[in-house]
Chain A
Amino acid sequence: MNLENFLIVAAIIFAIGLYGAMAKRNAITVLMSIELMFNAVNITAVAFSRYVVPQALLGNPETTADTAARFLLTGQIFSVFIITVAAAEVALGLAIVLAIFRQRSSIYVTDVAELKK
């Protein structure tokens, strides 16, 4: 397994997510597709953090374990933040979908088009 494998898988998942978010009619499916996009980014971030070592660290005798850990863990910390915020985003999304369902008894985004095109 090398970096390219992870990046390609992530790119494919991101593309699937983007397609779903643009093309699907069901609001829940759209939210799920958005989750796919976020998780593709997570895979990319973690893969980079596992495989990429910054030039500042390579062959630098002054690198301490502290700075090395700070650099190397950045991608994983990034993905933890993304997961947290994505959860908040979906919670709010579902709340709004619920409000829409009470209004129109439908969660199809194509039915939610009262505002002028």
Chain B
Amino acid sequence: MPHQCVRCNTFYDDKAGEVMQGCKCGGKLFFYIKKEKLEKIKAMTASLTASEKQQIEKDVLDIMGEEEYSEEPVVLDLETVRVMEPGKYELDLVQLFKNEPLIYKVDEGKYLIDLIRSFGQRKE
């Protein structure tokens, strides 16, 4: 499945080294995109300005509850929460209610599902 760097919007294949180690722009946050949605996403993000991309990256980190950039690359499920442009969001409620984690961490070349962050964070 393709991935898109949240910072510079470059697309990468699933097995690309950049997804494992970080994008060439320095970004370590990626959107995970289904192949069938790739063209639509490319068209959607083509018109974003550099400052809009920067804002989206900041907003996504806020939504994730991350204060600082993680050391390891982080892949987000774009199918569930889609940022169209700063301030415009689309949420897939069916997926969200499935309680599937929104965030996938890349660690030593493997995807690890970050269950603690996705499920445990806000429990009393």
The judgment on whether A and B are partners is: no
Seen from chain B, the residues whose Cβ lies within 8 Å of a Cβ on chain A are: none
Chain A interfacial positions (CB closer than 8 Å to B)? none
